[in-house]
Chain A
Amino acid sequence: MSNLLNYAIPGIPFGCIYALVAVGLVLTYRSSGVFNLAFGAQAYISAAVFYDTAGTHHWPTWAAFVVAVFVVGPAVGFVFDRAIFRYLRTASATVKLVAALGLLVGLPALIQAAWFGTKAKLRPPAVGPTPEHFYRWLSYGIDSNQVAVVVATVLVVVGLGFLFRSTAFGLRMRAVVESPRLLQLNGVNAERVATSAWVLSSVLAALAGVLLAPLYARVDSTNFTVLMVAAIAAAVFGRLRSLPLTLLGGIVLGVGQEVLTKYLPLGNLLVKGFRPSVPFILLFALLLFWPGLRKPDVTDPLAGVNPPPPPLAASLRDERLERLNRVMFPTFIVVFLAASLFALPSFWLFLVTQAIVMSVIFLSYTVIVGMAGQISLCQATFAGVGAFTTAQLATNHGVPVLIAMVAGALVAALVGVVVALPALRLGGLYLALATFAFALMVDNLVFPQTWAGNGQTGVSVPRPQLGPVDFTANRAFFLLALAVFAVSAFAVIFVRRGTTGQRLAAIRGSEVAAETIGIDPKRAKIVAFALSAALAGLGGALLASLQGTVSSDSFNYFYSLFWLVLVVTTGVRTVEGAVNAGFALVFVPELLHHLPGRWANLEFVLFGFGAINYAKHPEGAVEFGKRRSIERVVNWNKRREQRRPSPPGSVPPAPDEQREEVRA
């Protein structure tokens, strides 16, 4: 008993912090419909500010605390809402989620680039009194910092309780949490409530960030991801609705995590992975089994009605341009091939090959996000499954590499189906969360195992050999990658044009309407998920073979997030978008690494913030930019021609008109 309490007590402060963040999550989710995955990033900002002011510049603790929590915190929430999420109020859940993801990827990198640096900062200043006090009571101990966390949380809870119960503003906020639409219909200023919710929840995030860092004894952005997942689990426990349940969930999780890991045997690799992944496993399990989450009947007449996605920019149909394109495209391909094969030095050829391989992986986003409209946050995990399956089969079981690659793709597809099957029951947001939890779980529990990815040591994958053709040479492998990409691209195009693609398009347009003509949306989405996972797995296998060896680091959960925002920025609707993403992934860092060290992660900032434009440009910001510049050129050309009224007969008519005349 005393042992149990001894283990439980250090868990309480963690639980308090999870609870704070979770309450903030629920507040913003209910009031603005945004499931703010960037919460962890917000916490990181304030932790960084606190570290910088109190630690580096030796401000008094209270001043640093006020600035980090009550100035920077609310300011960030206010800016988020006014600059971004205000415009997404009526956007679909997917669009909102992508925007939040963009921030999650871009924001920490921006902070690091701007002043904080990429290294984790050790020994952050504590909020509690320094030097630390250590309180004892019987055989239980707790230090002053932990006490500070608990006290802060109790104060916040009492404050929130007062706000919600006894003020008019709190009443309105509670009404929003109960039924966002009702409030809008009643004409209360839902805008103001939503903004206030953002500000309030951002203060909570800031507080959590400042309190959390000393518990880990470091300021490190990855800790805030764990914090996020734990908070999400707590929020899910509260069914994304009930604040008291959410609070309880957070505390139970914090305590449970400490107690559970203390009772596990040490030293085992599985247990080592298990320790940090308790929140992930719990989130995954909650999503699948928590009865409160069963999709309820829609009780809000408008709740199920997702506004239609914004129309795509009208694709320009200019006769001459299309003719030009028909000539240009093959020319481009031939020149590209010739240059790659005969002119590029080996290092650059390797990079180009890598870009093509990545394009295969990115096609998986074209399928799942572009066609099915679903957010998957474990595409890198699927790629890893493909890669490691190939490696194990080829290296340890003597299977020919090409066959092993196909097997890798198939296994990835299978895993995809197994993940999607239960999660799809609950709808888009939960699918995203479940895939996120799944990615983190696999990262910690599966990929480190020797039979899978063998941790950071990794596994080796030979280059394939097909009869007399040996793909060991970089040129040969380049051609192989190109062939695989071509097959994948055509597969995607065929599927998009075919019945499957049409069904998915219908479901994206209106899921209920699709169902009422007899389409089973779950099945269609699972097919999309399987295809997408297979493509990711195939790409992963190819990547492994290209590099010769891969470790679990190559398929870290963070890549799933980063790749998503990258493809969304370059264009998630087209094959071209996937290719652009592949080349951007490989060559942008190549350009950026000439910059000084802390700017090294600038690509995260670029593409993270690029993805926020998804709402305005669902075809991709890069794709949009391209179309617009083409349009400009065409218009400019037209105007130039109009300005020059040619005397009859002096200018030869365009070939088309010529033909018309002949026929006439």
Chain B
Amino acid sequence: MTLLEAVGISKRFGGVTALHDMSIDVEEGEAVGLVGPNGAGKTTFFNCLLGLLHPDAGRVTFKGVDISGQPIHKRARLGIGRTFQRVELFSGLTVAEHLLIAERARQGRGGLLSDLLGGGRPTVDERTRVAEIVDLVGLAGAADVPVEALSLGHARLVELGRALITEPDLLLLDEPSSGLDRVESLALAGVLRTTQERKGTAVLLVEHDLEMVQRVVNRLFVVDSGAVLAAGPCLEVLGDERVRRAYLGRGVA
């Protein structure tokens, strides 16, 4: 079944057309890649999917519901999680606190009243969940470190964990491996595969590292100048002559 369908998304910034009639779809539990040169509009597209930007035209359907008009947090609650190309963490909080906040956001639990009655402490359940995810993304040693003290690579892992703990049905990843070394990238690819296989989480991956892309995804969209240039199974698309010329030919790895 189709999980996400974006049809005819267009977005202009003043004179710049960042997206022009862009359409993609993601099946349930599928891992899909989105590649293209810098400035192709990938990040803008993510922002349009989640509602950080409002497209000038087009429609986004998720689980059969038109979510085009919904605010960001509602879309998130429907089951879309994401990470950011420019890392967006909650400065001043520790890794574990990041995950705890996200876990509570998922449960939608706890309000002013329960806080006032002293119900703010994490429950045993919550602590286990947090520990689980910390292990999964490989930050076990750093759970109580404030995020400012982390390397960029680790910061990306925190973002990943924060998204994963909300148990999204679709995970949008914006260049998750930039800033990671090779070993870390491989580990990251591993984490993505496991989540996808065990939890059935669909993944939409923007990535320049084609090795990583091939490890994780089954299907690929190539975008250039805000529109889909080619789509199909990973190897097939990468072999396509047009794609080579438009994208790889420019010397982008």
Contacts and interface: CB of A to CB of B under 8 A. Distances in A.
Interface in A505-536: 505-506, 508-510, 512-521, 527, 531
B110 interface: yes
Contacts of A491: 116
Contact of B114 (A297, A299, A499, A512): A499
B72 interface: yes
A312 B91 CA distance: 11
10 contacts: A494-B116, A494-B117, A501-B115, A505-B101, A506-B98, A516-B81, A517-B106, A518-B76, A519-B73, A519-B105
A518 B77 contact: yes
Contacts of A516: 50, 72-73, 76, 81-82, 163
Contacts of B13: 299
Contact of B111 (A305, A499, A518): A499
A495 B84 contact: no
Contacts of A261: none
Interface residues of A, number: 35
A517 B86 contact: no
A509 B93 contact: yes
A531 B112 CA distance: 9
- The A interface, classified by DSSP as helix, strand, loop or mixed, is helix
Given A497-B120, A510-B89, A297 B53 contact: yes
Contacts of B111: 499-500, 527
Nearest to B98: A506
B245 interface: no
B109 interface: yes
A103 B16 CA distance: 41
Interface residues of B, number: 47
Given A502-B104, A515-B73, A531-B112, A509 B14 contact: no
Nearest to B90: A509
A519 B159 CA distance: 15
A509 B115 contact: no
Contact of A509 (B71, B81, B92, B104): B92
A510 B86 CA distance: 12
A500 B84 contact: no
B88 interface: yes
Nearest to A305: B86
Contact of B115 (A312, A500, A513): A500
B90 A514 contact: yes
A46 B97 CA distance: 51
B211 interface: no
B76 A513 contact: no
A37 to B, nearest CB: 26
- Listed from nearest, the 4 A-B pairs whose CB atoms lie closest are A498-B120, A498-B115, A509-B90, A499-B110
A245 B110 CA distance: 47
Given A498-B110, A499-B114, A515-B76, A510 B90 contact: yes
Interface of A: 297-299, 305, 308-309, 311-312, 491, 494-495, 497-503, 505-506, 508-510, 512-521, 527, 531
A646 to B, nearest CB: 35
A305 B97 CA distance: 22
Given A311-B92, A503-B101, A517 B115 contact: no
A518 B73 contact: yes
A497 B117 CA distance: 12
A99 to B, nearest CB: 20
Contacts of A510: 88-91
A298 B100 CA distance: 30
A655 to B, nearest CB: 27
Interface string B43-56: 00000001011100
Contacts of B166: 517-518
Contact of A495 (B81, B100, B104, B112): B112
A521 B74 CA distance: 11
B135 interface: no
Contacts of A512: 52, 72, 84, 88
Given A502-B101, A513-B84, A517-B166, A495 B92 contact: no
B72 to A, nearest CB: 4
A508 B93 CA distance: 11
A505 B92 contact: yes
A502 B14 CA distance: 37
Nearest to A495: B115
A499 B104 contact: yes
B73 A494 contact: no
